Amino acid sequence: MPTDPTTVVPPMTTRSVDRAVATIVTDHVHDIRQSFKELNRKGCWREFFTRVAQEPSINPVAQENFLTWWTQLGWCVRGYQIKDDDVLLDGLWKLLPPYAGGPIDLYRGQGRDEKIGASWTSSLMIARKFARYGTRLLEMYDDHGDPSPTILEAEVQRKGLTARADAVVLTARQVTAAHIICAPCLHGHDYEDEYIVDPRKLTISTSDAV
């Protein structure tokens, strides 16, 4: 039976993935970073994530470097290259530094009909901000860290923003390490109090954020 050409991985892609998988079990920072750049250039993150999920262990140095990369470009890879949350989440469990803390209440702001993502926060205010305004206020956090409610409202007024009508806040109470993949906020990436969560089989409640 002929092979479906849409399922064949090009040889150049396979070699890029092979190199990346080989580097993440080492502590060679330069090689790790170069391999991530190559995956980005070749657009083969999905194949990489699929392979990584089968690896028994990843070097902690590689995990820290991947976390830095993920906080900058992860949203792009999820939406435009991987396009499969099962593949994404299975890979993230291996690629990110593991969470070893206790249970914590977590929140996520989004549109009512949006697919539940992996980025959550321990701050209800930040979740409401994302629910109401999406990413239109991200530069505030880049410039100032977590703003106060007063500063946030002033920025909303200055930009003339209107909250979206379908804004909701998802709440998960006392989430444990069984669902928390990583806590970027505990690794020096502390704006937005972010936690990377596997929402599969997680008990979640929803409330309006308007």
Polymer length of the chain: 210
3-state secondary structure of 13: helix
What pLDDT score does 105 carry?
98
What pLDDT score does 3 carry?
40
The C-alpha atoms of residue 130 and residue 137 are separated, in whole angstroms, by 8
Instruction: List pLDDT tens digits, range 84-118.
Output: 999 999 999 999 999 999 999 999 999 999 999 99
Residues of the chain whose pLDDT is less than 70? 1-12, 136-149, 190, 210
Contact 159, 201 (CB under 8 A): no
Closest CA to 116 of 95, 89, 153, 154: 89
What pLDDT score does 157 carry?
72
Q: What is the value of pTM for the model shown?
A: 0.84
SS (H, E, C) 79-94: HHHHCCHHHHHHHHHH
The C-alpha atoms of residue 12 and residue 18 are separated, in whole angstroms, by 10
